Amino acid sequence: MLNSIDPETNVTDLNPIFRRTRMRVTMKLDRALLGAAAAVLLIAGVGAGVPGKPLNYNARVDGAARHELGAADLKARLYKNQTIIIIDARNDLNGQIIKGAIHVPLSKLEEWAKTADKGAMVVTYCTCPHDEAAEAEVNKLREWGFENAFTLSGGLDAARKAGIEIAVPSE
């Protein structure tokens, strides 16, 4: 039997069985590397919502900064008894509110802001598909000097999924 030369490695292949075995090992190694790369990407993606990570300052379509706080981060801050003013930005509460939150729709926000502590951490939320009402309130609050105002990313649904207590409003 004549020996063939592998054009990729420029090595003489003495045994066809060795060549098949080398191919299987290479394929297994490729799969292992691909799996490791996927694991790294998964860990990096999951790490974005872990409590203690920086707050999310995503750019909006119009180029402005979007100041968000994840529900897991809010829950961790509440668990640590950090002072946070939580504002429900919806017009109608529909029988649900985050426990301890206050109901301040956009039409009453300016009146509320006149007496509020501008240095306090404020988190607004709603049930809009893209947090539109909460984001509108955060933009106004930041415009008025509330530098620690954030939108709860995912709103009431995200809070519920994170295990933040939901209550019946007292209003």
Residues 36 and 13 in one domain: yes
Q: pLDDT by residue (tens digit) across 98-135? A: 999 999 999 999 999 999 999 999 999 999 989 999 99
Residues 66 and 33 in one domain: no
Residues 137 and 86 in one domain: yes
Residues 35 and 76 in one domain: no
Return the pLDDT at 170: 83
Q: What is the pTM of this model?
A: 0.64
Q: pLDDT by residue (tens digit) across 3-54? A: 555 566 555 555 666 666 766 766 666 676 666 665 555 555 444 444 444 4
Whether 63 has a pLDDT exceeding 50, the answer reads: no
Domain count, the chain: 2
Boundary residue ending a domain (47, 64, 80): 47
Residues 42 and 100 in one domain: no
Residues 35 and 92 in one domain: no
Task: Tell me the residue ranges of DSSP E strands in the chain.
Answer: 4-6, 11-13, 56-59, 65-69, 84-88, 97-98, 102-103, 121-125, 149-152, 166-167
Residues 95 and 122 in one domain: yes
- The domain containing residue 34 runs over which residues? 4-47
